[in-house]
Structure 1
């Protein structure tokens, strides 16, 4: 089994991870996990645990994990938005075909405000991108 285990384990937490070195080469043949660092994914900071000094290989490994994790989170963000688009379509169909007057009364104003806010942000961002593209040309 020890051949299947990674040398390092990243315990994901909300803003990054705790990094452990995995050790299976001990007298009890147990899996030991030694905490070596904490990682903040938002600012990229790596904080060694205690008085530990991270090796260049460990720093490179952690930097690689940060890049992979940021890519995963970015892909999830896009997927969440695509799901929101689907949900908006489902909401439209619900409002068109199934919603009662009371249900529509309960959701119309908050939904219209959220849609107005989203529309305003999207239009402003699109205009910024178009102006930036024009300036680049």
Structure 2
């Protein structure tokens, strides 16, 4: 195993991570991971684990990781939506060219309701943005 291990390891969980300090400088030359904190990305909270106190270096590293993680998750959200657009196009092609009547019967209502819901949300959000832009323009 390489001696170039990072000083910290972040075990991802749904709303953040458990933060471990990685130690290879021990008598057995084994990798030891000592939990030092719990991170919650949703509320920005960093809780030291147990009776620990975090150093400035710990906090800087954790905050940098949190910023990177938030950026990564935002990028993934957009990528997921763009994939959904691709799937919608593939679904339209499937419905037009390959689907049997029974297959269409099995999915049509669910698809129509989901698309109606999505359309309603998108139209409302677009109208809100246009109204806000118009209000901002009239104020200046």
CA contact (8 A) 1:2 1:24 kept: no
What stretches of structure 1 of length at least 5 have no aligned partner? none
1:107 matched residue in structure 2: 107
Runs of 4+ in structure 1 off by over 2 angstroms are none
Give the Å deviation of 1:54. Answer: 0.6
1:119 matched residue in structure 2: 119
Q: Secondary structure at the match of 2:3?
A: helix
2:56 matched residue in structure 1: 56
Root-mean-square deviation over aligned CA pairs: 0.9
Cα deviation, 1:27-63, whole Å, max 9, x if unaligned, reads: 1111110000010111111110001011111111111
What stretches of structure 2 of length at least 5 have no aligned partner? none
Q: Secondary structure at the match of 1:89?
A: helix
Name the TM-score, length of structure 1 as normaliser.
0.97
Alpha-carbon distance in structure 2 between the residues aligned to 1:62 and 1:133? 37
2:14 matched residue in structure 1: 14
Q: Secondary structure at the match of 1:66?
A: helix
Q: Secondary structure at the match of 1:19?
A: strand
Give the Å deviation of 1:125. Answer: 0.5
Alpha-carbon distance in structure 1 between the residues aligned to 2:55 and 2:89? 51
Alpha-carbon distance in structure 1 between the residues aligned to 2:80 and 2:74? 10
Q: Secondary structure at the match of 1:3?
A: coil
Alpha-carbon distance in structure 1 between the residues aligned to 2:62 and 2:135? 38
1:78 matched residue in structure 2: 78
